[in-house]
Structure 1
Amino acid sequence: MAAPPLPSQSRPHPKSPVRIDVIIVGAGLAGLAAAISIAQSGHAVTVFEAAKQLSEIGAGLQLTPNCTRILQQWNLSARLWASGAEPTSLTVHRCTGKVLAQEDDFNKNIRAKYGAPFLDMHRIDLQQALYERACELGVQFRMNQRVQSIDFYLDRPELTTESGTQAQADLIVAGDGLWSACRSSFLGKTLPPLPTGDLAYRIVLRLDQIDSEDLRDWVKNPTCHFWIGPGAHAVGYSLRNGDMYNIVLLVPDNLPPGVRRQSGSVEEMEALFHGWDPILSRFLSLVSEVDKWKLMHLDVLDAWVNDKSNFVMIGDSCHPMLPYLAQGANSAIEDGAVLGLLLGFMKSKAQLPKALKLYEKLRKARGDAIVKETFKQRTDFHMPDGPEQEKRDELFLSQLGKEVEVPFPSRWTCPQVQPWLYGYDAYGEVQDVIEREKPFEEAQPEKSPTASACSATASKQMAGEKQRQVGVW
């Protein structure tokens, strides 16, 4: 069933007494999240987007509590919450279908632990809800404007689009994704993403495409399933309140160098999963066409903020993530929320460098660490058959039917990794650092010891002179 609207206790969003002009490049999830958070902080926001309109691109997203906790604060439409599917269980299967791990009442357990839900949604539903909210907050959108370059060395940074449009702002935020042109301007060179060695088949099936009653029931009653096997894995979950089924297949990359996306062969796809769980095979047999997406990453960047403190990166432009922990979208929304919150605490434009450096301090270490953790998850899910795989499966099975209390091959339920990911509180972290470090408090100028001594001497001399005048001496 769909998750109902979940208005948690409203938390104050700071509003700066000064107003800066902010340009955000990209109307993806990172850019829209930043637009909402920055606009709520009282600043003027314009978003430049390459597409002519937001279209139904992409497929499913798994929104974990570290993200839904933020979304609850933004007064998004009830339609968004109704479009979700809340999985009641999470199951890890061996490629054959054998259950290795299962958590029943997953939805209830997640809410109890983290105070926010785990929701499966279609990307466009979230993107549209964020866009509508940004418009309500007065954010301006410039569509069909692909940014080509940025000049950081004017009084205010200036971007230029491929159509020749130029625009300046106090701050430019790069939310233009994996192939970011903004990042190239920042670095002074093109930094192409690197292949990870994997690609993804992304599949969405509508309920009316599914004839078998048992598969229809599987879709209508949302659960989350992983199938892990040598060199590959698959994940399946319901969308739109059980009206759609999303499947992602992660397999070795065989796309030509330089090709990001290509139409795939359904026959090739099915052959890769021949002999896997019959349930998965039956779903795949319903697919009529499919695309292949090369999975890419970046080397860790030295900085996300430029030296002039008029440019900052968010989301995939600075920390693209393998989808193996479903944190790409969640982390991008964290970035946007934290950036906007910090800009709300500024008391003057001169404090913009402090806000950006604090954003980088709070976000970069976490973003880089999640990227590394996704590669570890790939290692555990794609393990070739053999002694290590058998040892992994023994560990899985040793915890089956129990509350997991040991480091676990599935980080989705690992008692160390899950709380680190899902327990993250963007509002709480920003408030804590503001109270602890008081970064935006203006320091009072200190008097020099010499000046203080001179002042004290002068005061004594004046007092003595007054005393002499009244005949005390």
Structure 2
Amino acid sequence: MPGFTSTSEKTAVGPHLRLRIVICGAGLGGLGAAIGLARKGHEVVVLEGASQLSEVGAGIQIPPNSMRVLDAYGLSKRLQQWVERPRNIALRRYATGQILGVTPLHPRLTETYGFPYLLIHRADYQRILHEEAKSLGVEVQMSTRVVSVNTEVPLVTTETGQEFAADVIVGADGIRSRVRESVIPDQVIEPSSSSNCAFRATVTSDDMLSDPEVAHLMSDVNANSWIGHRRHVMAYPIRQGAMYNLVMSHPGQAAPGKWNEPGNLDEMKATYDDFDPVLKRVLGKVKGCLKWKLADLPPLTNWVSKSGRVVLIGDAAHAMVPYLAQGASMAIEDGAALAECLSRVQSQDQISQYLGLFETVRKSRCERIQECSRLNGERWHMPDGPEQEARDRALGKDHMSEEATATNGEDSHPNLWSDKGFQPWLFGYDVFTETSQALDRAEQSKFGQ
């Protein structure tokens, strides 16, 4: 990557006990976990219900905390040709486009945390992970839909009646997880439905650059977010300037967990009719859009089955609204932490202990980010008035300066990406070190016994 040199390339370390691990779901979290586990020497099979990896989803962000993991997996160079490296995240007044506040990204975050903040097309991200998993010997079976999980054996059964036995089963099958039903069999876990949906769309580079009113959005590489009452638009270039990506949050309904529900272009344009004229020109170039329901999960009682052999990761465990752009990053961190935990297993009867440690290491961090994602959205979506005006004044201050006070929670900066207390905790997190240290402490205390 230009200006970025890998400093944390980790060599694969064989585990004490080689495990057979079945992962349900070939999304970013499932494939990321497959890579981490395969690098530790485990036998990994990934089962995916879809017939092929799809283009659905458009742009996604890779913050420094997950870029740390991808770099450790040796993927930095492969990502280079597919990513954009934005200079800032700019929060803008919805009606005028006036910049209210800026979170500097490059080079500040790279220098501060050692890893960049990147933008990528979800399909490119998924393809790179898929190729790496396959190169490590992971078996990825498409068109293999899981219908039930026996947590005791443990055993996965597909809709064709095929059975997959394993030492460990990983549920990476999203917010509507089938595996979760077996992990928490005595509860019906429904997604916590947000009042908002999101339209997703892209505009080609040719269409953007041919219009002098909007061409600057392609050449001045930033992630821009126009924020208003109950609505915002996050937009940025992807695929090295080949297209402009738009995610448009608004009040509405759609099916949770579905990425490919068709959206109505007239409805999309009408929803943002009072937004910045520059943004409206961009929306006028959109030729098709998808609709996506925004939802998260309530904190789960447990991520590991009573048998200690089935574990949830990613959206299956902690789906979150996208207002901190951390959903995929948490899934990538989960996979790395899971691989670290299972690399310590020396006998079959230790599996449940180490999966329990995985849950302990990950649960509080992910649930805090779930909560803060909701909080960030609430702050973006304020109605016009005195509170909004006070928020806008606060957004204009540099809360990462030496003079700024580190805060968290309710008293934090109105944009948590720029909060002096929260940003280092979010972006500077080293999942390898944190997990290894937790494992060391547990082993020294003999798991509290």
TM-score (norm 2): 0.92
Change (3 A) 1:414 1:229: same
Change (3 A) 1:344 1:306: same
Match of 1:409 among 399, 406, 414: 414
Whether the 8 Å CA contact 1:3–1:119 is kept in 2: the answer is no
Whether the 8 Å CA contact 2:255–2:292 is kept in 1: the answer is no
Match of 2:198 in 1: 200
Letter in 1 for 2:149: I
Match of 1:420 among 419, 425, 428: 425
Match of 2:286 in 1: 287
Match of 1:51 in 2: 50
1:186 lines up with 2:175 in the alignment = no
Letter in 2 for 1:100: L
Cα separation, 1, equivalents of 2:400 and 2:347: 56
In the TM superposition, what is the alpha-carbon distance from 1:439 to its structure 2 partner?
A: 5.6
Cα separation, 1, equivalents of 2:260 and 2:55: 17
Match of 2:171 in 1: 174
In the TM superposition, what is the alpha-carbon distance from 1:92 to its structure 2 partner?
A: 1.1
Match of 1:114 in 2: 113
Deviations 1:247-281 (A, max 9, x none): 11111124489998642222221122122112211
What are the residue-to-residue correspondences of 1:362-381 with 2, within 5 Å?
362-381=361-380
Q: Secondary structure at the match of 1:412?
A: helix
Match of 1:296 in 2: 295
Deviations 1:413-470 (A, max 9, x none): 12122111101111111222233333697999xxxxxxxxxxxxxxxxxxxxxxxxxx
1:99 lines up with 2:99 in the alignment = yes
Cα separation, 2, equivalents of 1:372 and 1:263: 29
Change (3 A) 1:212 1:152: same
Match of 2:265 in 1: 266
In the TM superposition, what is the alpha-carbon distance from 1:43 to its structure 2 partner?
A: 1.1
Whether the 8 Å CA contact 1:34–1:339 is kept in 2: the answer is yes
Letter in 2 for 1:165: Q
Letter in 2 for 1:201: F
Match of 2:21 in 1: 22
Whether the 8 Å CA contact 1:3–1:84 is kept in 2: the answer is no
What residue ranges of structure 1 are gaps of 5+ in the alignment?
Answer: 445-473
Cα separation, 1, equivalents of 2:240 and 2:127: 17
What are the residue-to-residue correspondences of 1:113-192 with 2, within 5 Å?
113-153=112-152, 156-188=153-185, 190-192=188-190
Q: Secondary structure at the match of 2:250?
A: strand
Cα separation, 1, equivalents of 2:403 and 2:118: 22
Letter in 1 for 2:38: A
Letter in 2 for 1:319: H
Cα separation, 2, equivalents of 1:88 and 1:120: 11
1:229 lines up with 2:228 in the alignment = yes
Percent identity between matched residues is: 37
Deviations 1:189-208 (A, max 9, x none): 54332311110011112202
Match of 2:408 in 1: none
Q: Secondary structure at the match of 2:396?
A: helix
Change (3 A) 1:48 1:430: same
In the TM superposition, what is the alpha-carbon distance from 1:237 to its structure 2 partner?
A: 1.1
Cα separation, 2, equivalents of 1:10 and 1:56: 29
Whether the 8 Å CA contact 1:19–1:44 is kept in 2: the answer is yes
In the TM superposition, what is the alpha-carbon distance from 1:356 to its structure 2 partner?
A: 0.3
Change (3 A) 1:440 1:28: farther
Whether the 8 Å CA contact 1:265–1:290 is kept in 2: the answer is yes
Change (3 A) 1:3 1:235: farther
Match of 2:440 in 1: 435
Cα separation, 1, equivalents of 2:155 and 2:190: 23
Change (3 A) 1:160 1:120: same
1:325 lines up with 2:330 in the alignment = no
Whether the 8 Å CA contact 1:219–1:243 is kept in 2: the answer is no
Whether the 8 Å CA contact 1:173–1:312 is kept in 2: the answer is yes
In the TM superposition, what is the alpha-carbon distance from 1:301 to its structure 2 partner?
A: 0.6
Whether the 8 Å CA contact 2:238–2:245 is kept in 1: the answer is yes
Whether the 8 Å CA contact 2:62–2:329 is kept in 1: the answer is yes
Whether the 8 Å CA contact 1:346–1:440 is kept in 2: the answer is no
Cα separation, 2, equivalents of 1:9 and 1:400: 29
Deviations 1:132-185 (A, max 9, x none): 1111111111210100011123xx211111111111111100000011111112
Cα separation, 1, equivalents of 2:361 and 2:424: 18
Cα separation, 2, equivalents of 1:292 and 1:441: 49
Cα separation, 2, equivalents of 1:144 and 1:5: 38
Cα separation, 1, equivalents of 2:439 and 2:419: 31
Cα separation, 2, equivalents of 1:404 and 1:200: 37
Deviations 1:290-327 (A, max 9, x none): 12111122221100001111100000001001010000
In the TM superposition, what is the alpha-carbon distance from 1:11 to its structure 2 partner?
A: 3.4
Change (3 A) 1:240 1:440: farther
* Equivalences, count: 440
In the TM superposition, what is the alpha-carbon distance from 1:63 to its structure 2 partner?
A: 0.5
Whether the 8 Å CA contact 2:198–2:249 is kept in 1: the answer is yes
Match of 1:464 in 2: none
In the TM superposition, what is the alpha-carbon distance from 1:408 to its structure 2 partner?
A: 1.2
Letter in 1 for 2:166: A
Whether the 8 Å CA contact 2:171–2:310 is kept in 1: the answer is yes
Cα separation, 2, equivalents of 1:47 and 1:69: 23
TM-score (norm 1): 0.87
Whether the 8 Å CA contact 2:357–2:439 is kept in 1: the answer is no
Whether the 8 Å CA contact 2:318–2:367 is kept in 1: the answer is yes
In the TM superposition, what is the alpha-carbon distance from 1:4 to its structure 2 partner?
A: 6.3
CA RMSD of aligned residues (A): 2.4
Q: Secondary structure at the match of 1:36?
A: helix
Per mean C-alpha deviation after superposition, the further-off stretch among 51-60 and 376-385 is 51-60
1:306 lines up with 2:305 in the alignment = yes
